[in-house]
Amino acid sequence: MTLHREGYLIMATGLTILTGIQIGNYFLFTVTGWLWLFLLLTLGALVMAYLIIQFFRVPARTCVYSENDIFCPADGKVVVIEEVEESEYFKDKRIQISVFMSPMNVHANYNPITGLVKYVKYHPGLFLVAWHPKSSTDNERSTVVVEHESGKEVLFRQIAGAVARRICYYVQPGQKVKTGEEFGFIKFGSRIDIFLPLDSQINVKIGDVVKAKLTKIGELK
């Protein structure tokens, strides 16, 4: 396991603040002698340090895939599988699969298929809770479209949640990408929407807990 580069500044700032709090806690203990308060504040500082660090963890995983496989781009829980009208890029009907990422999930995001990046766009927006129906169109988000060698295209969209305030993505139009390569990161609670051709095989169901690079969510036909 490694720690993601997007978290270096946040982790350094957070741990510095917690260290300062703990120093103050020690001096308070020397004055008051309240051991219970010293232990309580120490425990709180340790829990906060753990939460900050675990959010930016990147576990070591190997993605083993076949030519037409579509892999999950994020850790989380499948909350939507439905046929919808995709209005930004395709402007036609697609199968939407949405994965909700809680603050406890790994928040690095990975390409679901191998192919050529055809479209990338960032949209500033609101910060509704990630499971809100309008979060897909009203929240801060980024959209990426990758064309598979078969000519079929898959759209995947990072959506900020109520806590998230920054979406990071690292791909550009014209770039060749591979299944399981990192394409972005979302900070603090969010969602990923994947839009697939209508004839795609779907291998997950609502409520499934999925893992980036490990869970095969479908297959292009």
Verify whether residue 136 is a known catalytic residue: no
Helices (H), the chain: 8-32, 35-55, 135-138
Within 10 A of 73 (CB to CB), how many other CB atoms are there? 32
Residue 45 amino acid letter: A
**195: Cα within 13 Å, side-chain hemisphere:** 23
- Cα(179)–Cα(111) distance, integer angstroms: 5
- Cα(153)–Cα(86) distance, integer angstroms: 13
Tokens representing 131 are 């499971």
Provide the 3-class DSSP secondary structure of residue 45. helix
- Cα(204)–Cα(191) distance, integer angstroms: 16
- Catalytic: which of 98, 135, 142, 190? 190
| Beta carbons within 8 Å of 208's beta carbon, 6+ residues apart | 77, 78, 215
Q: Which of 157, 148, 114 is nearest to 221 (CA)?
A: 148
Sheet holding 108-110, edge to edge: 108-110, 182-186, 167-169
Catalytic residues: 190
